[in-house]
Amino acid sequence: MTETTAGSPAAHAHASPIPNGIGRGARISHAALFSDYTPAHRVDAIGSASPSSTLTTRGPMKEHDAVTAEIFEGGCRCGAVRYRLTLAALPRSYACHCHQCQRWSGSAFSQNLFVPETALSVTGPLLHYDLTTADRTSHQHLCANCHARVYNTNTRRPGIAVVRAGTLDRSEELTCALHIYTSSKQAWVVLPDGAMAFPEAAPVEAMIAALQV
């Protein structure tokens, strides 16, 4: 089996340029969000646009994390793609109300989780494509069967995977810690009293503080 890294050109096929829309102005470091994880990340199969390709990611956790780690599972709509998150606690999510995320989701906003790539293990047939804008490339991963978007990585956020919150099996337990790009929020969406919200991208420090468990 051929081994390649997640950022390898062989691991992605190109698609039409639709911006990523998730905190686009901010560079968030892996170390700032996930100090207990190492950035090592492996892909054990070459991803491609072929429905037969399967991606598996693995990464080590430190010894003291293994005692307290919990497994959180999720997957796509049809069930062909499944994943596991090995984390100390259920992560906090954020909602992006930008027009681009509304187009991505076909709904009023997208809800996402920042997780360490090393904590994410994915199996099943994936489609991959790269989306390159002025200063970054977003690597998108979706089910090859039902085309549900499962997660993406971004060259501006090395070591971090952005998982679609609705793909988590226990999504009803998630907390939405902050809302961004509320200047384009649909009028009927009423945010909870006291919710942390920003009309555009959140400052890096605020986003890190809100999402840390």
Q: What is the pLDDT of residues 27-54, one digit of tens each?
A: 565 555 554 443 333 333 323 333 333 3
∠25-208-152 over CA atoms, to 5°? 60
Residue 181, H or E segment: none
Q: What is the pLDDT of residues 131-146, one digit of tens each?
A: 898 888 999 999 999 9
Distance of alpha carbon 29 from alpha carbon 145, whole angstroms: 33
Q: Which of 144-148, 193-197, 203-207 has the lowest mean pLDDT?
A: 203-207
> What is the residue extent of each domain of the chain?
9-18+28-211
Q: Does domain 9-18+28-211 have CATH number 2.170.150.70?
A: yes
pTM: 0.71
